[in-house]
Structure 1
Amino acid sequence: MLRGFLDQLGEADNLLPRFTAPRCLLERQSVGGCDACHTTCPHQAVNLGPLGASIQIDPDLCTGCGLCVQVCPTGALEYGLQPALQSVHDQRAGAPEARGTGEAGATLACSPSEAGGPTLPCLGRVTPALVAAAGAWDTPLTLIHGDCAACPVGAADVPERVARVVDEAQQLRAATGRPAQVTVRRATDEDRSRTHGISRRGAFKALLRSGQQQLAQALPDQPLPFVDWSVPEERTPQEWKWRSRALSPAPPETAGVHWPAPLVDEKCIDCPVCANVCPTEAITRDLQPDGGVRLLLDLSACTGCMACLHSCPPGAIYAQDEWLPAAFRAPILLRESDRVM
């Protein structure tokens, strides 16, 4: 009975990422658009289509490597973060010998590496939020890959891509004064010799946990539900929600938090373009009863894609990379005007 249940969990893998059209810069008709997912996919599985279906993923070609998700600037493509986050969180308190590894902290390995322990289809699934969360939990994280040059799942440069993800996470965590402890390395024979069995008692204990927690050694994906666009909180991708949560311990009030986002200067003509192209509706126009307009920014919802900057007709928008913690606690007034275009 237990074996059958575990087999069902193992079959729950959902290789295709979720596509949320309103977050896509092509759907938002941002100037310059975006083809990052298309150009990044090493398997030609991502194609660009018409409005309403701007991103089309061929299920026969997609390997679930996650590289398209890793480069998406807006969270239009995403996998559920919960399984990997839960695995790192659960491993943080366990002794290495109890987990069957020689590593302090937590490990995540790509499946092709054949390393023991929790696995992802590819380290292309690793995002800054995952690395930053490990830092927030003060958990050393070891990311183990196989022979990427010969791998049919990801790409030869996955280790370099992961290194850039780690750098981005470290920029975010710099404000906390406590960088994440991350090691990226190739699998060894010792890694491949480890096995991670699940005891009957341990399995049933795990079954009693929250449904969001994962039991299987491999981290199965559950298909993500559609985003309810009528709920403002759901418009922000999970990646950026977790980046915000990973700002722990809380940065000092005078510390600059690395979070690229837009500001507006006096060239603004009060047109609606920036709000129209914003993929998460982090920028909103608040029309006043007297005919004026207030331009507001929800910093925590901003993904830093800068579609607003590239699309602004008068070039009134510029990027600011660092913000004080107080900027995350209330909407930022970008501009207030007594007229509206």
Structure 2
Amino acid sequence: MKTLICDCNRSMPLTPALLGQVRQALAATPGASADGLEAAHHLLCRREAGAFQRAAQGGEPLLVGCTQEQRLFTELAAQTAGAPGLQERPIHFVNLRETAGWSRDAAQAGPKLAALIAAAQRPEPEPVPAVSYRSEGRCLVIGPAEAAEVAARQLAGTLEVTLLVDAAGGGGLTQSHDFPVHAGTLRRLSGWLGAFEAEWESRNPIDLDLCTRCNACVRACPEGAINLAWQVDLAACRGHRACVAACDSAGAIDFDRAPLISSQRFDLVLDLRASPAFTMHQPPQGYLHAGADPLRRAMALLQLRDWVGEFDKPRFVYYEQRLCAHSRNEQIGCDACVEVCSTRAIRSEPSAKGQTQGAGAARARGPGSAGLPPALGGRIMVEPHLCAGCGACTTVCPTGALSFRAPSAAEQGRRWQAMLSAYRAAGGRDAALLLHSQEGGTRLIDELGRAARLDASVHGVPARVLPVALWHTASTGLEVWLMALAHGASQVWVLLTGEEAPQYRQALGEQMAIAQAVVSGLGYAGEHFRLIEARDARDLAALDAALQAPSAQGVAAPTAVVAQADKRASLELALEHLIAQVPVVPAGLPEAIALPAAGAPLGTLRLDRQRCTLCLSCVGACPSQALADNPERPQLRFTEKNCVQCGLCVKTCPEDALQLEPRLWLADGARARKTARVLHEAEPAQCVRCGKPFGTLQALQAVMARIGHHPAFQGAAAERLKMCSDCRVIDMASRTREVRITDL
């Protein structure tokens, strides 16, 4: 890939020595290229635009180290004779000015420049399947009569508008009957862009479809109980029914009419009421709540006009049911994804037995599924049309049943690995990854860079801080962060800008508490993970100070292992390297590191042997093969590495004998957690008829204690309880024959 960089009218110290450092680092980084970095341009977007055009005419991929003039460069490439089309050879851009060059330590930013360029040179992620929307412009406007009609007239000509007049909202309608008008109270609104279902209840005695708006009823009513929206105030009405007589010809007024429930489908919804129909943090696409705010209303009207046609968005989340720890045997275990989703795109369907969804369904019985217990009792359902792509569900999912695909965690990890490799090759130390959103986060970092250029008291983004733009800050979590440390990062920070729902912040905080407990327990000094909050330019000073936090202790040597598509595999690889690289600890490593209970995906089981009857119902409930039996003898075995702390075994156990304990077990260098160990075993009960072992003595004694006093289990029936299943059948058959012979 050919790379062009510019010092923006010499405002960045891109010296030959610094560029030489960058070139050497890129040459030593697998997959990166130093082509085109012989010298920095000074005005690539103006006086030296010819250099860009010559580069654009070449056939190799092109990277430009400027995002401010991205539109200009794109247009210039399209106008350059001989340049490949943007579809054939897209041009990539990376911001080097605000993120690195406009900082008080820009002269030392060579490793950072190499890191940013190496990451930007990575190939684009594989495209993911799309979710489609189709809108024909059928728009429902809900609200007070006058405001709703004004909005409808502004949308006329672009959209097909229907009004649902809120009787309590006040105001009147004009005499002209230009739109379908319904009066009533919204009972239910569901759906998304192109597929909304609205249901409302009308108690108004005036049928607005039959009403000619002649106002005879308004003039006839002695109490003035009818307004110019042709709504009857039933509290003010005294039952004179003069309005009925006045409307005799049209027959639009009927006080005996039962409340009418109506429903209709719409593509778009504009809500002008004080309280929105959707209360979640992010409502469905196609629904806009403007209330009485004129500015929000004007912006909503502009946006609605653009929502006509066919639209696609990525299918951000992939669900593989066989890995899901949500439900087994009609018991609900992990519901972290349901709780964290801010769009209500994920719901629990306890009765959806055996159903499948998406690509995960096709592989539900594929390789690797052998031996897993059946998913009896239900599953989660993901509605991709409601999904906003935050990825929080994939972050809190302990098993990897939900995975983010735009880009995938594996691709994200490889990009970060390339970035950190180039940074290290250029001599950089103590790199801190600053994860931020593509919208609000990028805007704040740009503002900080510009402030540092104009104000000497502002430091700007430090040379050791590597900004990483994400589709959403909630889309990465524990395993990706720990893998970043294994790849050589000193710290991982997440910048929150107010775009995040409250539950996202809580989830990220819980994940960071677990990650910090792990690395601190292993003896790495310092604070490795932090949430940084900054909403707008008023918070720039606090953001500037937060980015100058001291570094933390990292690994001595980074791992060459790449991130995996499997969440648990990546987590294990990261843990293995962090354990192998532990700094010298005088007292040695503890046997186990206690982890916070909230969200912990690692841990053990505590078993009360006095209660456990080895019924093995927990084995059937375990979704991750952490629990297993022994075909040779009554045993309950446990592999701690596989445990996801979902709690299904605890809820399934009929004896309340199990308890979760979040931890990272380090016995035998953490090798013990990969080996199955016996939690409980017992002497088998032997059949009193054939001597074959079946069940356990403890379980048999428990059964005898519970039902042995029942009249149905006395005498021979009591002895039958002490037999294996085969002998029980034989004994019952032989006694039946004896009874028949006696009868004869």
Note whether the superposition's TM-score is higher than 0.5: yes
Separation (CA, whole Å) in 2 of partners of 1:240 and 1:300: 10
Residue 400 (structure 2) pairs with residue 91 (structure 1)? no
- Secondary structure at the aligned position of 2:630 is classed as strand
Cα deviation for residue 319 of structure 1 reads 2.8
Distance 1:130 1:11, change over 3 A: closer
**Per-residue deviation at 1:138?**
4.5
SS in 2 for 1:158: helix
Q: Contact 2:334/2:647 (CA < 8 Å) preserved in 1? A: no
Deviation digits for residues 275-334 of structure 1, max 9, x if unmatched?
11111111111110xxx2222111111112222122211111123344333322422211
| Counterpart Cα distance in 1 of 2:324 and 2:421 | 39
| Number of the residue aligned with 2:354 | 52
Structure 1: which amino acid aligns with 2:617?
V
Kindly tell me: are residues 42 and 184 of structure 1, through their superposed partners in 2, closer, same or farther at Cα, counting changes over 3 Å? Answer: same
For 2:678, the aligned partner's letter is L
**Contact 1:113/1:145 (<8 A) preserved:** no
- Asked whether the 8 Å contact 2:125–2:411 carries over to 1, the reply is no
| CA spacing shift, 1:58–1:237, aligned 2, 3 Å | same
- Name 1:237's counterpart in structure 2: 568
- Does the aligned pair in 2 maintain the 1:123–1:145 contact within 8 Å? yes
**1:45·1:62 contact (CA, 8 Å) conserved in 2?**
yes
Q: How does 1:1-341 map to 2 (within 5 A)?
A: 2=61, 4=88, 9=124, 12-13=127-128, 14-29=314-329, 31-49=331-349, 50-53=352-355, 54-79=379-404, 80-95=408-423, 104-115=431-442, 117-145=467-495, 147-148=497-498, 151=499, 154-178=500-524, 181-186=528-533, 237-238=568-569, 240-242=571-573, 244-245=575-576, 247-249=578-580, 252=588, 254-258=590-594, 259-266=602-609, 267-288=611-632, 292-322=633-663, 323-326=665-668, 327-339=672-684, 341=695
Q: Is the 8 A contact 2:333 2:651 kept in 1?
A: no
Closer, same or farther: CA 86–30 of 1 in aligned 2, 3 Å? farther
Residues 284 and 34 of structure 1, relative CA distance in 2, 3 Å threshold: same
One-letter amino acid of the structure 2 residue matched with residue 185 of structure 1: I
Quickly say closer, same or farther: Cα 1:11–1:113, change in 2 above 3 A: farther
The alignment partner of 1:9 has SS state of: coil
Q: Letter of the aligned partner of 1:169 in structure 2?
A: A
Quote the offset at 1:74 in angstroms. Answer: 3.6
Contact 2:441 2:495 in 1 (8 A): no
Q: Does the CA-based 8 Å contact 2:637-2:678 persist in structure 1?
A: yes
CA distance in structure 2 between the partners assigned to 1:246 and 1:52 by the alignment:
39
Q: 1:166 to 1:26 in 2, by over 3 A?
A: closer
Deviation at 1:26, TM superposition (A): 4.0
Mapped to 1, the partners of 2:329 and 2:623 lie a distance apart of 10
Q: Distance in 1 between matches of 2:643 and 2:622?
A: 8
Structure 2 counterpart SS, 1:118: strand
1:39 & 1:162 partners in 2: Cα distance?
A: 13
| Structure (1 or 2) with the larger CA radius of gyration | 2
Query: Residues of 1 paired with 2:677 and 2:592: CA distance?
Result: 16
Q: CA deviation at 1:94?
A: 4.1
CA distance in 2, matches of 1:275, 1:78: 26
Q: Partners in 1 of 2:607 and 2:502 — Cα distance? A: 41
Q: Is the 8 A contact 2:433 2:468 kept in 1?
A: no
Q: What is the rounded CA distance, in whole Å, between the counterparts of 2:401 and 2:431 in structure 1?
A: 34
- The Cα offsets for residues 251-283 of structure 1, whole Å up to 9 and x where unpaired, read as 656432344221322121111211111111111
Greater relative contact order structure (CA < 8 Å, 6+ sep): 1
1:330 partner letter: T
Determine the C-alpha separation between the residues in 2 that align with 1:44 and 1:318: 31
3-state SS of the aligned residue for 1:287? coil
Distance of 2:475 and 2:126 partners within structure 1: 19
Give the secondary structure class of the aligned counterpart of 2:603: strand
Mapped contact 1:81–1:239 kept (Cα < 8 A): no
Aligned mates of 2:322, 2:488 — CA distance in 1 = 35
Deviation at 1:178, TM superposition (A): 0.9
Instruction: Tell me the CA shift for residue 243 of structure 1.
Output: 5.4
TM-score when normalising by structure 1? 0.71
Contact 1:123 1:143 in 2 (8 A): no
| Gap change, CA 1:133 and 1:237, over 3 Å in 2 | closer
Contact preservation (8 Å) 1:174, 1:257: no
- Cα 1:173–1:6 change in 2 (3 A) is farther
Which letter maps to 1:84? Q
Counterparts in 2 of 1:105 and 1:119: CA distance versus 1, 3 Å: same
SS in 1 for 2:328: coil
Deviation at 1:69, TM superposition (A): 1.9
Give the Cα separation in 2 of the matches to 1:114 and 1:318: 41
Kindly provide the CA deviation profile for residues 157-179 of structure 1, in whole angstroms up to 9, marking residues without a partner as x. 53443222111111222331115
Name the TM-score, length of structure 2 as normaliser. Answer: 0.35
Native 8 Å contact 1:129 1:242 kept in 2: no
- Contact 1:19 1:76 survives alignment (8 Å): yes
Distance 1:282 1:142, change over 3 A: closer
**Residues 246 and 161 of structure 1: is their aligned pair in 2 closer, same or farther, counting only changes over 3 Å?**
farther
Identical aligned residues as a percent = 20
Question: Residues 302 and 52 of structure 1: is their aligned pair in 2 closer, same or farther, counting only changes over 3 Å?
Answer: same
Tell me how far apart the structure 2 counterparts of residues 284 and 329 of structure 1 sit (CA, whole Å): 14
Give the match's secondary structure for 1:119. strand
- Alpha-carbon spacing, 1:52–1:112, altered in 2? closer, same or farther (3 Å): farther
* Conserved 8 A contact 2:340-2:507: no
Corresponding residue for 1:218? none
Contact 1:22 1:28 in 2 (8 A): no
- Consecutive unaligned residues in structure 1, runs of 5 or more: 191-209, 214-221, 225-233
The alpha-carbon distance between structure 1 residues 95 and 39, as it changes in their structure 2 partners (threshold 3 A), is closer
CA distance in 1, matches of 2:620, 2:574: 24
Q: Secondary structure of 2:531's partner?
A: strand
Q: Secondary structure at the match of 2:579?
A: coil
Q: How far does the alpha carbon of each residue in 1:112-138 deviate from its partner, in whole angstroms, 9 at most, with x for none?
A: 235275322212112112222333344
Q: Which amino acid in structure 1 is aligned with residue 619 of structure 2?
A: A
Per-residue CA deviation, residues 189-236 of structure 1 (Å, 9 max, x unaligned), is 79xxxxxxxxxxxxxxxxxxx9x79xxxxxxxx9x7xxxxxxxxx8x8
Q: CA deviation at 1:6?
A: 5.6
